[in-house]
Amino acid sequence: MADSPVPNLGEFEHVVLLAVLRLDDEAYAVPIADEIARCTGRAVSRGSIYITLDRLETKGYLRSRLADPTPERGGRAKRYYTLRPRAVEALKESRRALVALWRGLEGKLA
């Protein structure tokens, strides 16, 4: 399935990838959750954020790195996430598909 042209992305995985993309260099779990809540207006559980990030990394859509520890976090490091090229491809592809589907529909839903 990984090689298929249509990316095997769940809706929530999609949302998380977009949030990571929006946050650029600041993408770790806490702001990702905030960003999703801000943009979608729905609260998300911590659990699903972590599990989804973990899965997306396993599937090869995300890369993560540990930054230096900071004192406000009790001396614990942040794990920052960035998109791998195939995630970018997958987002582009799904955007293209959605835009194509949306074309001409604006009037109908107005």
Chain residues in the site for other proteins (CB under 8 A): 10-13, 28-30, 44-48, 50-52, 54-55, 66, 69-70, 72-74, 76-79
- DSSP-based three-state secondary structure for 4: coil
Q: Long-range contact list for 66-70, CB < 8 A, 24+ apart? A: 67/28
CB of 23 to other proteins, least distance (A): 14
Residue 63: which H helix or E strand, with range? strand 62-66
Q: Name the residue nearer to other proteins (CB basis): 12 or 84.
A: 12
* 70 strand-pairing partners: 76
CA angle 25, 39, 63 (to 5 degrees): 30
CB of 29 to other proteins, least distance (A): 5
Least distance in angstroms from the C-beta of 43 to other proteins: 10
Of the pair 14, 22, the CB lying nearest other proteins is at: 14
